[in-house]
Structure 1
Amino acid sequence: MFTSESFFRRTWNMETKEYLKYIVEEIHTTIVATVDDEGLPVTAAIDMMDYDNDSLYFLTAKGKGFYDRLIKRQFLAFTAMKGEDTMSSVAVSIRGKVRDLGHGKIPELFKKNPYMHQIYPTEESMKALTVFQIYEGTGEWFDLSKKPIERASFNFGKVEIRHEGYFIKDNCIGCGRCLSVCPQRCIITTRIPYVIEQEHCLHCGNCLNTCPVGAVVRR
């Protein structure tokens, strides 16, 4: 049976490594959120300096509050964007677990990111740094430069991806009200039940609010 979930799976168009590569090589600087001792969010600008098939790597100094929050929570979230303006931008968001790898990978990261020598110019000053790895998590790609918009989800490490979004159940009556309020016109109406094209959906919720028979659900 053709379902919204199966359509979502078929439309992914990049491997996880490609998303991670894009973050490092095309965007590089991200805005990372951690949580403090009072449970409140704190943000910091952090460069993602390297990647492999299923993880990202970055540096921080052990004397920073950011380091303390990473050690205590072992989790972060970030969003990275590239584009001249809103309608030409790509955003990639990640939520994931982190671990401290120590000093060993620092020479490799400095070689790949030579500007770091201007910030920490001596071997002695580099001792303040440690490497963190984001080794397990989920991510979302959101491309506003495409018409209609393009959205995709990905995962890395051992975590399983959770398909979030709006889906249409079998009790759809094909009335067309959902399509009439969809800003991206991303609902397939050539069959009943209708199918929401997940890779173009804004997650605005208009379809859920307008369906007269409750056939739209949020998962």
Structure 2
Amino acid sequence: METAEILRILREEIHSAVFATVDEQGLPATRVIDIMLTDEDSLYFITAKGKAFYRQLTDRKYAAVSGMTQGKGSLERKAVSVRGKVENIGSGRLAQVFEANPYMAEIYPEEESRTALEVFRMYEGEGEYFDLSAKPVVRHTFSLGGAQERHPVSGDYYIDETCSGCGECLKKCPQKCIDMSAVPYVILQEHCLRCGNCQEVCPCKAVHRR
């Protein structure tokens, strides 16, 4: 799946996402912020200059974002998480933000009131897309702005050469996402839940977590 399509889902289908930053005491801080614009490999959001969020973004220049579509139930939802570097582009694209998100004019009706707002752009980072509505579930990693995508992703499970081909791992895999066509078996990362069942039952201790 292309990064631009994942960002479109984040903007259009999720829109309101949880943003995490670090405060002045080094503690985590979160709030719900709307994704205002996206392009091929960037996302844009706004905040007011008087807010703690603004100061944290300005000081740290980094944020993490997570959001999930609503759907009718958990098995119809898609989730996107991304973390990366952010930059303040001031009032650049603010008019476009209001044009693309007309409800903002109800919050900041006068041009004068909008002078408190500035636009931030996440321009480099890495993320993950997770689709529970697919069978088996689908997981994709992606990158923004040319950042090197972690591959393999930290937290993945993999099977080494000591695999005997016994098949115990597949029996306990909830998504049956283990390729048994050759030994050692291969975990299909795009469908893996990272539950660790395969590692738990492997009699050869051939399954490892990165």
Shorter-normalised TM range: over 0.9
Aligned length: 206
Which stretches of structure 1, 4 residues or longer, exceed 3 Å deviation after superposition?
Answer: none
Match in the other structure for 2:173: 182
Classify the secondary structure of the residue corresponding to 1:77: strand
User: Once the two structures are superposed, what CA deviation does each residue of 1:95-129 show, in whole Å capped at 9, x if it has no partner?
Assistant: 11101000121011111111111111111100000
Among candidates 60, 83, 87, match of residue 75 of structure 2:
87
C-alpha RMSD of matched pairs (Å): 1.1
TM-score (norm 1): 0.91
Match in the other structure for 2:27: 40
Q: Shift in Å at residue 157 of structure 1?
A: 1.1
Kindly provide the amino acid, as one letter, of the partner of residue 8 in structure 2: K
Kindly provide the amino acid, as one letter, of the partner of residue 187 in structure 1: I
Match in the other structure for 1:75: 62
Match in the other structure for 2:40: 53
Alpha-carbon distance in 2 for matches of 1:128, 1:31:
22
User: Once the two structures are superposed, what CA deviation does each residue of 1:115-165 show, in whole Å capped at 9, x if it has no partner?
Assistant: 111111111100000000000011111111112111111111131111221
Among candidates 166, 185, 207, match of residue 198 of structure 2:
207
Match in the other structure for 1:131: 119
Kindly provide the amino acid, as one letter, of the partner of residue 133 in structure 2: S
Q: Map of 1:90-105 to 2, 5 A cutoff?
A: 90-105=78-93
Identity score, percent:
53
User: Once the two structures are superposed, what CA deviation does each residue of 1:164-214 show, in whole Å capped at 9, x if it has no partner?
Assistant: 211111221101111122111111112111011111100011112222222
Alpha-carbon distance in 1 for matches of 2:25, 2:187:
40
Alpha-carbon distance in 1 for matches of 2:41, 2:21:
21
Unaligned runs of 5+ residues in structure 2 are none
Matched, 1:26 2:9: no
Unaligned runs of 5+ residues in structure 1 are 1-13
